[in-house]
Structure 1
């Protein structure tokens, strides 16, 4: 067992530093839960438009809920996806007088049990199991980069925090190949369930800047590492640019996917003040990788002039002063996803 673990950690170290993407199999997540969730996803998107609009994201100060097709941009182009954003179980700790960011975490909006029987319970069970997997996995990540297993726990001390998930539909369409454009995830780690095994579309950029297909594989999650983890590890962890191509026109069904973002750091944490002291031998491995190529994904300097406001309609309704500051000319046509 010890030998198996040490071998896994060594393989993980190589992936973390040199690749940034991996398939993870043999997880403790219940396969029956996954199968039932996959079966219900088409029914979720098949709900009458009025029912979906009743839980639209604009209703939620926590940026959770339904988004219509084509509501977001990446790198200035429309992302052709329809989606529901949910979070792990959480209540808002916001009180009048608190900074507005204290209201970012809060409860999700779900269809009623009459509209989609059993879905909420099923999905919340799935999220609970994913959270357990992610918490265990991030300890292995710490170990793989030469840190104590609990080194990253300092970012997750609060009992009231929220990790995010999306359920996404990429329809067959002729407007563009872009399901979602090239981007990095901001979270520490993402666990992606590719819920349509007949559809390829996910791609990642390798160390040469080439786009590589990441096709669905049964009983696996695709794991990728986000910019937050890259930053706090002094660039040791490699966050990888990735994108999703829309299903081709000859497809008979849409593509569905379910990313889970291990993102819910304590609201008072400032990542730029929390860089970890990395072991010299690990920094040497990072430096041996050489200079990483430019990618098509948005990078940190662009945040200085691009407002990463995925859903300005939420800000206009729930954070009007901040909305006027960021959007002095009024509501833009789309939110900027990345």
Structure 2
């Protein structure tokens, strides 16, 4: 049996291996990264570099809009948790995060929620976009970026299935049908420099909720850290020409822990380095499924030998962070909604008062 391995660095996987006929090597690296570590840098991703550059340029411009224009797009106005959040309006593990952000999604045909429908269907809906005159081209650029990264996300999941010796279409059943109707969800995030007396929590330790996150680190400032099973924090510094990829608790659930979600956080930037910007994309899955009933590795059935060896080699600890344990018994839409309400209680109290009261143990 192999000795237990500790995470000491984030692996780098180069997409050009696929283009150069070295797919088996790519799959081997992918298998190791997401069974053992849960994070990787994806080098040379198939996303237009010019489009990435445009998105990076829009970051400071978006947050430099007049405060009244940003406040007019406040997330508290949206039952879909889309829009603008002022600095200090998000909470992780009960502590206030020091980041300013916009959440947005692609336009898509989604069910119109009406009274009596499952509450999680209210989660679907449009973004709030800045006025075109104030930020010309932003919506078009962001939408195109989301479409390209969304396409990459679907292909990545097919490759991940292959790396786990599963059929390429294994994860298709977890998306909306048709898959093209899925809304692609993204954030633009600004981490300002803080006075040391204010602490350093850009965003607190957490796991992501769904299947896949693709993060564009949109400035040179470090801050993202990944937690090893022993509790050590490992820097995931920005590397030009890469996206940071990590898996969420939803995928960990359906693979019965074979593919791992990993706790991570963001520290506020060093005052000497200035503001940090990032653009995470979160792959959305169907809200009307029970992940615990759709596992892809059946209990009692032996794992492929190479995967079993990787699972045995890793060290696992249940670290103290938001963990989406509700996937073990609850429908996915409710699990995702609970996560959002915990982070944005003011949105929950306005649009989901009964569920919010249940979560926080208060009266609606």
- Report what 2:171 is aligned to: 152
Matches within 5 A, 1:53-92: 53-92=71-110
**CA drift at 1:324:** 4.4
- Report what 2:57 is aligned to: 39
CA distance in 2, matches of 1:3, 1:116: 42
Deviating more after overlay: 73-82 vs 147-156: 73-82
- Report what 2:250 is aligned to: 228
TM-score by length of 1: 0.90
Structure 1 unaligned runs (5+)?
A: 332-338
Aligned length: 326
CA distance in 2, matches of 1:155, 1:227: 14
CA distance in 1, matches of 2:262, 2:358: 32
Over the aligned positions, Cα root-mean-square deviation in angstroms equals 2.2
Deviating more after overlay: 237-246 vs 69-78: 69-78
- Report what 1:336 is aligned to: none
Q: 1:301 to 1:322 in 2, by over 3 A?
A: closer
- Report what 1:126 is aligned to: 145
Q: Is the 8 A contact 1:24 1:220 kept in 2?
A: yes
CA distance in 2, matches of 1:297, 1:17: 20
- Report what 1:194 is aligned to: 217
- Report what 2:133 is aligned to: 114
- Report what 2:287 is aligned to: 267
Q: 1:89 to 1:289 in 2, by over 3 A?
A: farther
**CA drift at 1:154:** 0.5
Which of residues 306, 309, 314 in structure 1 aligns to 2:347?
Answer: 314
Which of residues 183, 208, 225 in structure 2 aligns to 1:162?
Answer: 183
TM-score by length of 2: 0.83
- Report what 1:173 is aligned to: 194
CA distance in 2, matches of 1:12, 1:2: 16
Structure 2 unaligned runs (5+)?
A: 1-18, 330-337
CA distance in 2, matches of 1:154, 1:133: 17
CA distance in 1, matches of 2:256, 2:353: 36
Q: 1:300 to 1:246 in 2, by over 3 A?
A: same
Deviations, residues 8-61 of structure 1 (Å, cap 9, x unaligned): 101111111111111112222111111111111101001111100111111111
Matches within 5 A, 1:18-37: 18-37=36-55
**CA drift at 1:153:** 0.3
CA distance in 2, matches of 1:254, 1:42: 9
**CA drift at 1:95:** 3.9
CA distance in 2, matches of 1:153, 1:302: 22
Q: Is the 8 A contact 1:142 1:150 kept in 2?
A: yes
- Report what 2:319 is aligned to: 295
CA distance in 2, matches of 1:291, 1:315: 37
